[in-house]
Amino acid sequence: MSGALKEVRNRIKSVQSTQQITKAMKMVSAAKLRRAQDAITQMRPYAKKLQEMLSNIVSSSDGDVAMDLAYERPIEKVLIIVVTSDRGLCGGYNSNLIKLTKQTILEKYSTQNTKGNVQVLPIGKKGYEFFTKNGFSVVDAYWDIFADLRFERVQAAAKYAMNAFVSKEIDVVEIIYSEFKNAASQVFTAEAFLPVPKIAETGSKKKSDFIFEPTQSVLIEELMPKILNTQLYKAVLDANASEHGARMTAMDKASENANEMLKSLKISYNRARQAAITTELTEIVSGAAALQG
């Protein structure tokens, strides 16, 4: 019985040690989440307004101005930008992003994929490792952006996509990322990046009439790349906050599960200890009775 007690005691120590790690990781993620949440909360209204304005300009141009980044053509070659995390232990965060990427490729771009014309540009080590190991065509220059998250590094990835689109190496670009809602909720999203999407026309919604100063062509040439850089940066900030929220939630759940395991193990330990004491008492009483006999 002493062997069983020792085994349960060792398991209790192991679970307690693991629980200390999960609690510490939850606290670290909570601190990082506050900073990441502030960044995306401040960025989102600005980025969304710019994106709306860009789509509205594209919709209002009626072909008057040449806009290379908004030019729609038959889709032969596809680039998917997928934003995952560098590290694991964040629940189903990365697996959901990879699942959505595979689903988008197989359902939306199956013809292009069959011809080998789908490329994946991963941002984040987990996505890079998965798509490299599974034989996808991978752009491997930007996967480590989270090691030093700055606008300039995200801008470099956006420029790569824009240059490939303008030079007709790529016909369409999509971003797959997790949109941050709160610590316990993320929305896994596939969003059009290039060509710049137009605003869907409805009977009640009219196109905005802009006054351009200087000319429309000069402004579009300057503004369009900058707005697209901002759009990708917003997606990366969303993903950064989502990752920390997912990890904080996962570690909180792990700590709760450890508590449940500890309760169960302590009950098992007490039962085994009680059984051992009962056995010892029985042996003592039996020995005493034998001596008296």
Q: Please give the positions annotated as active site.
A: 90
SS3 state of residue 90: coil
Q: How far is CA 286 from CA 36, 125, 155, 283, in A?
A: 69, 66, 83, 5
180 φ, ψ (degrees, to nearest 5): -75, 130
Nearest to 234 by CA among 198, 282, 193: 193
Total residue count of the chain as it appears in this document: 293
Q: What is the largest CA-CA distance in the chain?
A: 116
In this structure, the strands spanning 118-123 and 137-138 are parallel
* Nearest-angstrom CA–CA distance, 30 and 11: 28
Please name the helix (run of DSSP H) or strand (run of DSSP E) that holds residue 175, with its range, or none: strand 172-182
Q: Does residue 102 sit in helix, strand or coil?
A: helix
**Residue 123 token pair:** 């941002």
**CB 138 within 8 Å of CB 131:** yes
Residues 6+ apart with CB under 8 A from 127: 82, 83, 84, 94, 97, 98, 101, 120, 143
Report residue 193: phi and psi, to 5°.
Answer: -115, -55
Q: Which residues of 4-36 are buried (b: 16+ CB within 10 A; e: fewer)?
A: eeeebeebbeebeeebeebeebbeebbebbeeb
